[in-house]
Amino acid sequence: MLKKNFFEFNFEGLKNFLIKDLGIEEKKVSMRRKQIWQSVYQKGSFEIKNLTTFPLELRDKLNSLISLQRPKIINTQTSSDGTIKWLIKFFDGNEVECVYIPEKTRATLCISSQVGCTLNCRFCHTGTQRLVKNLSFAEIINQVIIAKEQINDWDEQKKISNIVLMGMGEPFYNYDNVKTAVEILKNKEGLNYGPKKITVSTAGIANRIPEAANEIGTYLALSLHAPTDDIREMIMPINKKFKIKDLIEQCKYYSSVVKEKITLEYVMLRDINDSVECANQLVKLMAQFSCKVNLIEFNPWPGVQYLPTERSEMEKFGKIIQDSGYIATIRRSRGQDIFGACGQLRTESEKKKIYKN
């Protein structure tokens, strides 16, 4: 009999499995579910035999029905700045990249929600890989599990302090799986990350933002990258569908529900979106809702047509925003030498062609 993979259960799904397949009585199921969940997600124990809170007979039965197999790392690259990038191969053969970014007092894990991407933002390397598939919630969560295994992050004081869904793909085009993955991340019996330790990024899928405010409720990062529709459409085709005005309206709603500032991500491209005029237009835009901006160094990749803005120009741009009373942070690139920085993630996975007779 084919075993079921543990990571394919959400909290409710595991309860149903324990009742139906394992025959655990209703009054004990919550306790048993909590024991398994904590053993795997909090202690990093991936052997059913180590589940000593279960009677031996029950352990044997569980072991015959369930697998704790994880996808494999097929390549690890470590940057000169300590950033680590893992290439992960899933059971279906598809691959994604995720990135661990350590700092002095915290560490961030950047995870992917899709293999490839549909959005084709002109400055983003990931966008050159066509969408292969949406990741299941198990595949999203497994990136966190694998990273925790690699750095032995099973103490109460977490080494990975923050999770960002800013890797490959558009999270809101894989909404249901991202929502379930975030529920597992936030579950106190599970990975136990507070909503303020998780950030979901979107390139601006405006119609999903209100839903996410009510159902996901983490920090939200909006990949804005331009202060006007004209410039944004040139570098981000998605803007033809969702205009900046719509995004502002939905972001207003999001911040009113979640009670936190939206983070605007703004990759600085030389002579495209980095002028004084652009800075002043961005200030006008920021005045309309609760937000702050991250100014990001552009990370070139082979074949790209854009150049990074000079550091001095970035500082001048940031100062205009700060002098207007808003928060603007210049983000230094991390992991650039291993193509692990913002917008550089890409794998060789391709959508398999289906041939018809």
Alpha carbon distance 269, 331 (integer Å): 14
Alpha carbon distance 126, 117 (integer Å): 7
Helices (H), the chain: 11-20, 26-41, 56-65, 137-151, 175-186, 209-215, 229-235, 244-258, 276-286, 311-323
Residue found by looking up tokens 């579950």 in the block: 187
Alpha carbon distance 257, 76 (integer Å): 39
How many residues in total does the chain contain?
357
Q: Radius of gyration over alpha carbons of the chain, in Å? A: 22
The tokens of 212 are what? Answer: 């996410």
Report CA torsion sign: 250, 215, 331, 289: positive
3-state class of 214 per DSSP? helix
Q: Which residues are catalytic?
A: 97, 342
Query: Are 141 and 11 contacting, i.e. CB atoms less than 8 angstroms apart?
Result: no
Alpha carbon distance 286, 309 (integer Å): 21
The tokens of 187 are what? Answer: 């579950």
Which amino acid is present at 173? Y
Alpha carbon distance 100, 148 (integer Å): 10
Alpha carbon distance 232, 237 (integer Å): 8
C-alpha closest to that of 114 among 290, 285, 346:
346
Phi and psi at residue 133, to the nearest 5°: -170, 160
Alpha carbon distance 178, 169 (integer Å): 11
